[in-house]
Amino acid sequence: MALKMAFGRICEKVNRKAQIKMGETIAIMFIFFVLLVVGAIFYMNLQRATVSREITEAYELRAVELSQVISFLPEAQCTESNVVKASCFDLYKLIGLSKVASTPEGINLYSREFGTTTIRLIKLYPSGGEWVLYDNRKANFTSAPVTNIPIMLFNTTSDKYYFGVLEVTTYS
């Protein structure tokens, strides 16, 4: 009987040690999973910021592409003796383009190149002026980043150059 009691006490001590070790293991696993969740949240926030930055860069790139498309349109190019001048927009051709593109037929014609954007021409120097070259807004857009591209405008009647900005608003 004394042997049985001694054995019982030893088993109780072993059970208590096993319970303590089990509790320690559970606490360590809990801390590990908390750290894992905190790390996952940090990583997701970092990815969200990266994706947002990439989307903004894509819109800006699209705006620059649109300005290049406009610069190669015969409706906008400066020409002298049938030679195209680089980085130059003919002011009167652009005003004519704004009148054509504001009609439903014009929007239909240019929608393949420009998509859902608004393109405005703003003459800054020497005197101001503003024309909407193309306006095809998306019905329910979530964001509309605006990209300003400096351009050189040529007035063919006075043979003078002006400074302007091509404002491209891309809808998403």
Taking only the tens of pLDDT, the chain with its 172 residues reads 666 666 666 667 767 777 888 889 999 999 999 999 999 999 999 999 999 899 888 888 888 888 888 878 888 888 878 888 877 888 888 888 889 888 888 888 888 888 888 999 899 988 888 999 899 888 888 888 888 888 899 988 888 999 999 898 888 7
Q: Tell whether omega for the bond before 74 is within 30 degrees of 0, i.e. cis.
A: no
| Model pTM above 0.85 | no
DSSP string, 80-141: ETTEEEEEEEEHHHHHHHHHHHTSHHHHHHHHHHH-SEEEEEEEEESS-EEEEEEE---TT-
> How does strand 77-80 pair with strand 83-90?
antiparallel
Number of domains, the chain: 1
Residue 7 lies in domain: 1-172
